[in-house]
Structure 1
């Protein structure tokens, strides 16, 4: 019986390969086959006519190379045929597709030999990525392919599928825009999709029987088939996903993929361990698999061929599918050098991730891509969970409160988020409970958010912490949280549906809960139309004013001043907008988290109110004011100093 302990092996002695053609590649006259399997004694390649059943109609032995690779050339046209590999390293391992497989049949059981050109939708060559002059210009909207379209209220025909994102002019029963039309109406710049690579726990033959977010990877370079109109033909899912990207790009919206290279769903049975046992995973000192992901294993990103695999995979998605950015699940599992290499290999793309792990890792913290090491990863951002918890309370505790839910003494942590976690001379870091020092070197390294797919939705968290809050107060709190996220420096990130008070019925971990829990209920857009319109105006405000999206830390330090006297439950500050080229030269923002109105003294001069409650105006609301301003409970007010 195989021993799955590896403390007797020095993996650094394994030969590495810099080959660019690892995998299975079709051409009309031949198919090229090459895998990296340095411990193999024999590698067998098998061909099938079906993706699930039947016996192999052809078997061939691969030839070994000097760099741990095994390869062969099949003469003839094998387009549409299915394949697997079987490795013998002294005993036979399980039959699987290769780790680079880009196209699979139903449930990822077998790979498919395919012609990539046939997967391009009409006009694909002309597809253009939206321009992004700087990362802080992005407004990211996180959603799940199935959640976004599956509800009856979506008015979308291709429910739960890639093609649901391509339908134009869809409406809810109340006649309001849904789907793609909603995204355009809201004004976001990028859609962040939860994993779309092939994952295990949803049966592609019966996709509606189970639900999953998709953080259970099976094949990293192949698409998930449960979102396809035909899960048996892997080329269909490729073409349909490209059509999704094309549709969003045509609307001026970029596409960011959530990637999960930190762990695999299977450990011993994974395609990696069935090819090169042990190599792709970190081990503890006793040789057993380490588990910083909390899912049973963690990828050894620091090893040469693991790093190469991740970079090859990311470049494939970026080049073949025109992807605009990547979000790294549990980025704190990755080593710093791998993340820096990814940044170097993918210029211009948005890269960000969770700056933490789920459990202990044998790799020391100083070598991993943790939040506190963000400044050592230029061009890569981390989620600002400090800001998240300051706004709504601890993410995991039902009853905990934050600034928008009326908890006092969270002002310094809110200021920490406003300046995008960079060094600012007016922040007293000892009062920031969760981070005692800044961790971002530049504002583009900070993702500011208040909710995401994990944990409770913003609405549910607020409702759980203040169960007796009226509907009016709930709306105000959701608006105030959005106002802080969308006017702060850094990169704002929105959880789909928060703009109309999305609820999951209080479910704090819905990763495998059914559609009625996870689906976006588009009817709430009508019910909470004032909240949607508020978010819509906030996004446009951010786009109109470069003072809210500064690119350099020095500008934040020099041109943002916390300029009014401290008042409990209030955060206020001034921005000198002129150096950023903002039409508003001197801006005052006031956020009142208190349950009653407050009067705030103003700096010297005459001011116009530009935002007050639900009213937004680029020219000003009502007449000029001086000396002080009254700010309503649970609200934001923005004023601009009148020019002489």
Structure 2
């Protein structure tokens, strides 16, 4: 999941949410608008005058049914009231009204609203005969004013009350408050039982005589487990939300639990339960007699150390279904165990399992039983796929019962099928071809690691009736996804079949990387951790809203000790129990550096050859840039690779613009980004130096195609309109060959080898199987490219000059040749790194005509890549030459013994 995908996905998600809100809260369908074009003027007042980066999100709203498109509107003027803007909306007749939200940046914050009807959405419904409306909005005020209000005449109210310290409550008022000089200023604070909490003093920010921000200083520490209400005779009342107190050292010291027994701990004689819920006043364990029973038995849990609660159930509890019920703030909240390892179908109850009963035949966990791998990222070749993608196509040749399932990766020697029509009888017959498919075809490519899009339990499909979804919607982090199992209602089945898949891949010398999404969840409000410890697991803005640096509505607070512990514990569990070989961290830049360093350190203890890579985009505003696990801090994250969008976009053009071109498609000014990537984005020299720098080339994940955005073929088709299929194939081979031969860790998407298309869909996260499935018959159609890529990977695997693992080695042994642009040519000193090829020359020519380059020395050169041909064995030998002509739109490789 990349930022480009988020932009599309966020709009879709927001539109969906708006549709839900409209359905839930509208009293009756409104009459369609009379005017197709509306002209709207919005005035906006912020109490503190802090308008920087505040804007409006506007959408065509339906009170029932699907909304129209949404868009950002920026303020472009101001008056005595505040900021203002006038804009037009066209195509409005089919819609009921206009939705409007005041927001900071790209959803970093909304203008209050989480407790409002419609979640803070406001709606413009009244227009004059010409389709015009003028409105005034005030920060923290639900009202839409149609006449300019007097700020001083607005009814005073408490916009928010936040517990930021054990002895202080911070209030935000909708107008400025001046202290009267009394101890309590007529404010009162009561707990969940209605008892008064002593306020020792009331203060304003330092140096202020009047302010919208008021602090109630308390005589004693509050009980974090209680609910509190602020009252004032003029400003009314407001519920106190837990705020930055959860970031305090005092909170961490009191409630950081370091044990390894969170969740359920099974033994044949009993099962112990421990859950972290420091803000709860009571926690109950609810057990069910069957997986589907409607009612269960309540067991009171015992308050234990560091905010944990414990219980124990005697006897063999294998397959016992359970949930927790926590009383927080006077309300009972039900939650699945965050640490649960098995669930019922759809994941709404946890299940105790004896993990020894989930192991398939020949299950051989442990580093010693994995396919051989040095542990050096530059020795890896990653092949990204999706469980359903791989096998769901009707011509895949994979047994119907296994299509879209984990078990499809256990079907060996499969070949595609095709429909043959008898010319005379017109009868259609399905026949087998000799074209490999599935795991057989993948193994033939020579890749080292297969990377799966999310295989944990996610919320965006119905497991009983699965459809396609990428799965970036976590629900139960430590449970396999049920829709990929043949028996999703059986808690053991999904675990066993995932292990069976992993064992099968290991048996075929392929290691397994899991795509993990610890940066956000499907729905923050209903997520188990949020039910048990409201306000802790997710970052929130100063006004109490969920922070949204991910663009999908929430972001996890990895810097908090118990969130960090959960992430680290989770990766350790998957590595140990499922024998995984690597992790790809989605939106890794949301996480803090320390968390990712701990992930790397703990995995090293289990198996130091485990690969860790992630999306190092600089995202969000809730932690400082220098704390983010992002590209800008790669030097602080040894042993963790990052996707190199610099070489990606330099080669093929921006992923944010389908028509944009890159160096390979005629935009030759992008050449510097390509060179930086070829050198693994190390600090190579003053001429070749990327916009971000790696410690070593293994940190640079080099790619031109992934599940996000257009496939490379579709991108080429969009940016090189009018090109023939042969020309597109040439562009494709040129682009991909740069990645496969560059210093770093090469990464390809499944099907890239046979010019995969998703029919121009740049955001196929929930598109149909027709769009997403791998069309294995295309492999036969594009066998020239398939064989070309197989040979390039064989060359890379056989020759360490293409896999140097230190910056020093790359600097010493890679030399860019002095050639006319746009050609890129470089030599590799193979002898210096123990290669059987003493000197290697690689030349990439994006020109539409052949280009001549001068070789670093005269003599006999053995050509192994030229035009559309590639081979580890010599294709031809050029004797006594000092120059060579590199064919158009191609890569050329030769070596001297």
Q: TM-score category by the smaller chain?
A: over 0.9
CA shift in 2, pair 1:164/1:527, >3 Å: same
Equivalent residue number for residue 301 of structure 1: 558
CA contact under 8 A between 2:284 and 2:300: conserved in structure 1?
Answer: yes
Shift of 1:55: 1.2
Matched, 1:139 2:375: no
Equivalent residue number for residue 350 of structure 1: 611
Shift of 1:123: 1.2
**Alpha-carbon separation, structure 2, partners of 1:619 and 1:9:** 67
Q: How many residues align?
A: 631
Matched, 1:9 2:245: yes
Equivalent residue number for residue 800 of structure 2: 546
Matched, 1:266 2:523: yes
**Alpha-carbon separation, structure 1, partners of 2:747 and 2:505:** 18
**Alpha-carbon separation, structure 2, partners of 1:313 and 1:424:** 37
CA contact under 8 A between 1:8 and 1:287: conserved in structure 2?
Answer: no
* Matched ranges for 1:530-569 at <5 A: 530-565=784-819, 567-569=820-822
Matched, 1:116 2:369: no
CA contact under 8 A between 1:5 and 1:286: conserved in structure 2?
Answer: no
SS of equivalent residue, structure 1 residue 558: helix
Gaps of 5+ in 1: 430-434
**Alpha-carbon separation, structure 2, partners of 1:275 and 1:7:** 16
Gaps of 5+ in 2: 1-114, 116-226, 228-238, 418-432
CA contact under 8 A between 1:5 and 1:288: conserved in structure 2?
Answer: no
SS of equivalent residue, structure 1 residue 369: coil
Equivalent residue number for residue 76 of structure 1: 315
Equivalent residue number for residue 639 of structure 1: 894
Shift of 1:8: 5.9
**Alpha-carbon separation, structure 1, partners of 2:661 and 2:598:** 40
Shift of 1:126: 6.2
Match of 1:584 among 837, 841, 847: 837
Equivalent residue number for residue 169 of structure 1: 413
Give TM-score scaled by structure 1 length.
0.96
**Alpha-carbon separation, structure 2, partners of 1:507 and 1:590:** 33
**Alpha-carbon separation, structure 2, partners of 1:468 and 1:5:** 59
Larger Rg: 2
CA shift in 2, pair 1:617/1:198, >3 Å: closer
CA shift in 2, pair 1:559/1:428, >3 Å: closer
Give TM-score scaled by structure 2 length.
0.69
What's the Cα RMSD here?
1.5
CA contact under 8 A between 1:7 and 1:286: conserved in structure 2?
Answer: no
CA contact under 8 A between 2:794 and 2:872: conserved in structure 1?
Answer: no
CA contact under 8 A between 2:365 and 2:578: conserved in structure 1?
Answer: no
Equivalent residue number for residue 422 of structure 2: none
CA contact under 8 A between 2:827 and 2:856: conserved in structure 1?
Answer: no
Match of 1:453 among 697, 707, 710: 707
Task: Please say which of residues 448-457 and 410-419 is displaced more in the overlay.
Answer: 410-419
Could you give the per-residue CA deviations for residues 272-325 of structure 1, whole angstroms, max 9, x where no partner exists? 100111111111122221111111111110111111110000000000000001
CA contact under 8 A between 1:416 and 1:427: conserved in structure 2?
Answer: no
CA contact under 8 A between 2:398 and 2:411: conserved in structure 1?
Answer: yes
CA contact under 8 A between 2:825 and 2:844: conserved in structure 1?
Answer: yes
Shift of 1:427: 2.8
Matched, 1:389 2:633: no
**Alpha-carbon separation, structure 2, partners of 1:321 and 1:135:** 21
CA contact under 8 A between 2:791 and 2:870: conserved in structure 1?
Answer: no
CA contact under 8 A between 1:445 and 1:490: conserved in structure 2?
Answer: yes
CA contact under 8 A between 1:426 and 1:562: conserved in structure 2?
Answer: no
Shift of 1:25: 2.2
Shift of 1:444: 1.1
Match of 1:195 among 448, 454, 462: 454
**Alpha-carbon separation, structure 1, partners of 2:496 and 2:452:** 17
Shift of 1:623: 3.9
Could you give the per-residue CA deviations for residues 508-541 of structure 1, whole angstroms, max 9, x where no partner exists? 1010111111111111001101111111111101
CA shift in 2, pair 1:162/1:132, >3 Å: same
Match of 1:20 among 240, 260, 274: 260
Shift of 1:53: 4.8
CA contact under 8 A between 1:564 and 1:603: conserved in structure 2?
Answer: no
* Matched ranges for 1:58-73 at <5 A: 58-73=297-312
Could you give the per-residue CA deviations for residues 72-101 of structure 1, whole angstroms, max 9, x where no partner exists? 111112222211111002323432211101
